[in-house]
């Protein structure tokens, strides 16, 4: 499918940012999975890198394709983080967390000297918010936390304020993150002030982390049916 080709092209273009000897943040999601597989190919060809996975799913994939891994506790900095996004705006602000790994993804991104975002061109938007914003919350008191998230959406001028607990499977059981938390999906529809919303969410007791990635991305690579468009701030 054309979207898969675009994701592959974005991932392939990101290899240009990987140099021998680097510590590389390995993102989570379908586009990041293409990158991990391509990186595995480069490792088999002699490239020496160490990867820091942002989820157990990415860890498993990296091990399968032969990318050497290092625990984040063993590094003081990460040279480059390559990760996907659910939405990207012209200021390189992101919504992430559709794959449920936003907490670890943000920790790795914040520890990286450079964050390279890879996505198909359909993820480029003028204003964030059409994709539901994931918010990782503690299980204790999550219903109260959900109410506060709803209030934060309304208070910061979002067009939508519906919130829902992320569930999966036939039994609709709550999704549990790698950190043992729940995810609340905030259906903002349109986020006019991402900075204000991010600050408001951070101030809510019970919120572990939110999926607004602000002032973290340095490069955005948008894959197309043929090639990729590389954008820098």
Q: What is the DSSP letter of 121?
A: G
Q: How far apart are CA 33 and CA 49, in angstroms?
A: 17
Do the beta carbons of residue 163 and residue 187 sit within 8 Å? yes
Q: Can you list the positions of beta strands (E) in the chain?
A: 23-26, 50-53, 80-83, 87-88, 94-95, 115-120, 133-137, 162-165, 167-168, 173-174, 182-187, 207-210, 212-213, 219-223, 228-232
**Dmax of the chain from CA atoms?**
53
Report which DSSP code applies to 132.
P
Q: Which residues contact 136 (CB under 8 A, 6 or more apart)?
A: 97, 102, 103, 177, 179, 181, 182, 183, 207, 208, 209, 210
41-45 LR contacts (CB < 8 Å, sep 24+): 41/65, 42/15, 42/18, 43/67, 43/68
Task: Based on the residue annotation, tell me whether 105 is a catalytic residue of this protein.
Answer: yes
Catalytic residue selected from 105, 126, 136, 162: 105
User: Could you give the CA distance from residue 168 to residue 79 in angstroms, rounded to a whole number?
Assistant: 35
H helix or E strand, kind and range, residue 48: none
User: Residue 46: which region, alpha, beta or left (left: phi > 0; alpha: psi -120 to 50)?
Assistant: left
Active-site residue set: 105
């Amino acid at each position: 499918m054309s979207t898969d080709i675009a994701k592959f092209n974005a991932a392939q273009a990101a290899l240009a940012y990987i140099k021998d000897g680097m510590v590389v943040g390995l993102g989570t999601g379908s586009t990041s999975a293409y990158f991990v597989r391509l990186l595995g190919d480069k490792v088999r060809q002699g490239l020496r890198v160490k990867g820091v996975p942002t989820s157990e799913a990415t860890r498993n994939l990296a091990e399968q394709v032969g990318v050497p891994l290092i625990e984040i506790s063993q590094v003081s900095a990460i040279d480059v983080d390559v990760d996907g996004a659910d939405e990207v705006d012209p200021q390189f602000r992101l919504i992430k967390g559709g794959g449920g790994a936003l907490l670890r993804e943000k920790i790795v991104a914040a520890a990286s000297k450079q964050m390279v975002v890879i996505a198909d061109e359909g993820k480029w938007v003028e204003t964030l918010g059409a994709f539901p914003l994931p918010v990782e919350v503690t299980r204790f008191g999550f219903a109260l936390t959900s109410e506060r998230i709803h209030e934060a959406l309304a208070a910061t001028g979002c067009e939508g304020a519906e919130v829902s607990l992320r569930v999966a499977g036939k039994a609709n059981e709550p999704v549990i993150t790698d950190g043992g938390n729940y995810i609340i999906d905030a259906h903002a529809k349109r986020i006019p002030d991402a900075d204000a919303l991010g600050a408001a969410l951070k101030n809510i007791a019970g919120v572990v982390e939110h999926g607004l990635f602000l002032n973290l991305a340095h490069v955005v690579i948008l894959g197309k049916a043929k090639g990729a468009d590389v954008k820098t701030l």
